[in-house]
Structures are given as structure tokens and as C-alpha cells.
Amino acid sequence: MVLLHLYKQDYSQEMSKIHKKSRVIGDFEIRKVIVPKGNEQQHWMKSLGMCRSVFHTVQLRQGETLWMSDVPMEQETNNRALDEARGNVLECGLGIGMFTHLASKKDEVESITVVEKYSDVIKLVYPKIKTPKTNYVNMDMLDYLITTKERYDMIHVDIWAGADKIPVPTQSEDFILSSQVYTNARDLARFGQFYLQRGVWNGERLLSEEWIDFVRTPAPATADRGQEYGGQWWLVPEGRDDVPTDAYSTSGNRGQYTVVVPSHNVVIVRRGLDYGRQGFDRWSLTREVLKAIDK
């Protein structure tokens, strides 16, 4: 086990001040925990290190199932979403209220609608973090997304409890996956090659060409941000002329990238384990790789 320097000044311990004591409502519990110096900060991945400082953390538990906490690892996974929060925000899953609390402080955020399935979680957490900007809906997130007529500038989904609970069946019995998809570089390369081949694998079409075109089409909501996002894939921002404009990329937590460049018949994979505020420049990597290939 490596002792990693995870504690930084920008790791907030505000939630410990908001939730002043442990409480239980129904099946759910807010549990106050002091993480000692040198203790593991990951609850299910022991290889990612220990903490150099005492950390006062808040956990949301259902029995012994940990749904959410505010340890540095959890905060790092929320940092990008907080940076992107603006306008009318939809938050799927209340947790301990960390995202809602921090996002509501931003001037760019006008409103936050929290969709939470469990009424006991709402009773336990929402009164502690509510502001004039916030409101909640006691409903399953998938049902809400299917039925709502509201439109949002940003949607943040955080609804899972442990790696074994991640697949969420929809009403059609399909699955939504969120994080903890264990892959190696070759897996990601095959995934990129599948898209490069426009949804065909071993001569069999598995995805429609319409879907491939859809993921590469800029989402209207990103028009004021350089048309940088399509359908679950990131696009080359407008104004960037050092990489082919037909390139598109996944962007995984802690710096996992698969970049597809159809005009060069190339797939680029970058594996990472980035801490803190993440900002690896995949487009500069793409530029340099293409330079090397084209020589």
C-alpha cells in the first residue's frame, strides 16, 4: 500500500459541519466518521492509497451498505460536474447533499432540482442543504426522466451504492452502466475500433450507422461552449485546428480516454490514474500521435 498525498486545501469538510451528528430515519443513516491519518480513502479499491491527514467525513448508509461519503476520492469524482454546473441543474440522487450544497453556491447556477427515490433520504438530508435555489422530487430517476417535460442545462447522475450495485435495469430491462467498468487498454482500443468501423464487428452490424452519426453530432446545449459534446462522446471544440475535426473521444474518470479519428483510420487509448482536478489534454495527445504516425 502506497501512502498517497490525498489531502489538499480544496477538499471540503463542510458536510461534517452541516450534518452535525449521526442520525437514522427508517432504513437510512447519516454516520459521522473520523478517518485517521494513514487510513484507506477508498472503500472498495485498496490500491489507491492512504490519507496523510485526519479527515472528518459524512456517510450515507442503508444498513451496512455505503451509498455515499465525502472523502477526497468522492470529492474528486464530483469536481468536474461541479465545474460544469450552470443554469438549471438536475441532480439525480441526493446522497449526503454534497453536490447540491456546493453547486448551489455557484453564481452560474440558477436552480437545482434533486430527484431522490427514497423519502427517508430526503427527510434525513434535504432540510440540511436546502436553499432558495433548490427543490426536490421524490421519484425514481428513470421514471422522472421518461415523464418530465422540463429541460435542464446540466444533469448530474450519482445513484449507485458500491460496485456490485452499478447496473441499473430500465423499464425495458436494458442496463445503464456508471463507472467501475473494469477494462485494460486493449479493451478500450477494441471499443474504439468498433466505433471506427461504424458499428460493425466481424462482419456483423451491432450498432446502427444512425447511432454512430448521432454520437458525433454536437448537442444543442453545448452551442455556447464550442460544440464540444455529442451523444455520450466528446467532440473537438470549435476553434481548435491542430487536430482533425472528425475526431471524437470518451472521457473516463481519472483520465481514461479512447479517441477515434476516422479521417486517419486511427484509435488512440490513454490510460490514467489522475488525482485532484483532472485536465489531461487528450486533443494535444491526439495531435502528437498523428504527427508521429504521419511521418
Q: How confident is the model over 32-72, as pLDDT tens digits? A: 988 776 665 544 344 555 555 667 889 999 988 888 888 77
**272 backbone dihedrals φ, ψ, rounded to 5°:** -140, 170
- What whole-number distance in Å separates Cα of residue 16 and Cα of residue 191? 41
Whether the per-residue pLDDT at 81 is higher than 60: the answer is yes
Alpha carbons 86 and 111: distance in angstroms, whole number? 9
CB atoms within 10 A of CB 45: 12
Note the pLDDT of residue 244: 95
* Average pLDDT value for the chain: 82
Q: Mark residue 199 as left, alpha or beta (left: phi above 0; alpha: psi -120 to 50; beta: remaining).
A: left
More confident of the two residues 14 and 124? 124
Out of 9-13, 54-58, 104-108, pick the least confident. Answer: 9-13
pLDDT of residue 132: 96
CATH of domain 75-176: 3.40.50.150
Is residue 136 predicted with pLDDT exceeding 60?
yes
- The residues near 108 (Cβ < 8 Å, ≥ 6 apart) are 85, 86, 87
- State which amino acid sits at residue 150: E
Q: Is 130 within 8 Å of 123 (Cβ atoms)?
A: no
For the stretch 148-194, pLDDT in tens is: 888 888 888 876 544 344 444 444 444 445 555 677 899 999 999 99
Task: Give residue 116's pLDDT.
Answer: 94
- Decide: 110 and 82 in contact? Cβ < 8 Å: no
Band of pLDDT at residue 233, cut at 50, 70 and 90: very high
Give every CB contact of residue 159 below 8 A, 6+ residues apart in sequence.
92, 93, 117, 141, 168, 178
- Indicate the length of the chain as a whole number: 295
Fold held by 185-294: Beta-lactamase (3.40.710)
Rounded Cα distance between 48 and 189, Å, is 24
pTM exceeding the 0.85 threshold for the entire prediction: no
Give residue 145's pLDDT.
82
- The pLDDT score that the predictor gives to residue 3 is 38
Provide, rounded to the nearest whole percent, the portion of the chain with pLDDT above 90.
49
Q: Is the pLDDT at 2 greater than 90, yes or no?
A: no
Query: 286 versus 295: which is more confidently predicted?
Result: 286
Q: Which strands, in side-by-side order, build the sheet including 55-62?
A: 23-25, 28-35, 55-62, 65-69
Listed by start position, the domains of the chain span 14-73, 75-176, 185-294
What are the tens digits of pLDDT across the range 247-274? 999 988 778 899 999 999 999 999 877 6
Q: What is the mean pLDDT of residues 198-214?
A: 94
